[in-house]
């Protein structure tokens, strides 16, 4: 059964291919992805590697957790399912109408123009 790993502490220079090549030393890599910022396209410093078996995944954790890749010390552990994470808050709140409480408009009520 395939097992997904979270890889933290990645160098901004690490690529998907570099990540896959490094983790293939521990076993068969099904996929490897460095997560990038949507706006800038720059690495966010973490990624995911999917190993073919649980044994390969454990070997990869043992081999890479706390070790250096591209000049950075990695944090490697089993990825948590997205369903277990709390919902992010902040930003636009549709239920409250977004940016409320600013009132006025135009010239801010000043009459001395």
pTM over 0.85: no
pLDDT in tens, 53-86: 999 999 999 999 999 999 999 999 999 887 755 6
What is the predicted pLDDT for the residue at 1?
79
* CATH architecture of the domain covering 3-81: 2-Layer Sandwich (3.30)
DSSP for residue 72? E
Domains in the chain: boundaries: 3-81
Let me know: does 10 contact 45? Beta carbons within 8 Å. Answer: yes
Residues in the chain: 113
Dihedral, CA of residue 50, residue 56, residue 62 and residue 65, to nearest 10: -10
Nearest to 54 by CA among 110, 109, 113, 1: 1
The pLDDT tens digits for 5-21 are: 999 999 999 999 999 99
Which residue did the predictor score with more confidence, 19 or 98? Answer: 19
Residue 102's pLDDT band, with cuts at 50, 70 and 90, is low
């Amino acid at each position: 059964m395939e097992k997904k790993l979270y890889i933290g502490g990645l160098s901004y220079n690490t690529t998907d291919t570099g990540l896959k090549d490094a983790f293939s030393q521990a076993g068969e890599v099904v996929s490897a992805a460095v997560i990038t910022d949507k706006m800038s396209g720059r690495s966010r410093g973490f990624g995911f590697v999917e190993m073919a078996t649980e044994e390969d995944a454990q070997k990869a954790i043992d081999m890479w957790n706390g070790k250096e890749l591209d000049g950075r010390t990695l944090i490697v552990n089993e990825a948590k399912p997205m369903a277990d994470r709390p919902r992010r808050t902040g930003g636009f709140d549709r239920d409250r109408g977004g940016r409320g409480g600013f009132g006025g408009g135009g010239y801010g009520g000043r009459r001395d123009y």
